[in-house]
Chain A
Amino acid sequence: MDEQMIEVKNDTDIIRVRRIVREMAVEIGFGELDQTRIITAISELTRNIIVHASSGKVLIKEVQKTGKRGIEITCADEGPGIVDIELALKDGYTTSGGLGIGMTGARRLMDEFKVESVVGSGTTVIVKKWMK
Chain B
Amino acid sequence: MIIPILKIGDVLIVTLQSELTDREVEELSHDILDKINKVGAEGVIIDITALKVVDSFMARSLNSIASAATLLGSEVVVVGIQPAVALTLVELGLRVSWGVKTALNLEKGLEILKKERA
Contacts and interface: CB of A to CB of B under 8 A. Distances in A.
A104 B82 CA distance: 22
A33 interface: yes
B59 interface: yes
Range for the number of chain B residues in contact with chain A: 20 to 34
Given A98-B60, A109-B92, A14 B53 contact: no
A20 interface: no
Nearest to B84: A36
Nearest to A92: B96
A98 B59 CA distance: 11
A94 to B, nearest CB: 10
18 contacts: A15-B19, A18-B53, A35-B84, A36-B52, A36-B84, A36-B88, A40-B54, A40-B92, A44-B55, A47-B57, A91-B96, A92-B96, A99-B60, A99-B97, A101-B93, A102-B55, A104-B93, A108-B93
Contacts of B57: 43, 47, 98
Given A36-B88, A104-B93, A105-B92, A15 B21 contact: yes
Contacts of A12: 21
A109 B88 contact: yes
A8 to B, nearest CB: 12
B94 interface: yes
Interface of B: 19, 21-23, 52-57, 59-60, 82, 84-85, 87-89, 91-94, 96-97
Given A11-B23, A14-B21, A105 B93 contact: yes
B85 A43 contact: no
Main secondary structure of the interface of B (DSSP, over half): helix
A40 B21 CA distance: 14
Nearest to B58: A43
Interface in A15-58: 15, 18, 22, 32-33, 35-37, 39-40, 43-44, 47
Contacts of B84: 32-33, 35-36
Given A40-B92, A108-B92, A102 B23 contact: no
A98 B60 CA distance: 8
Interface string A85-123: 000000110000011011011101100000000000000
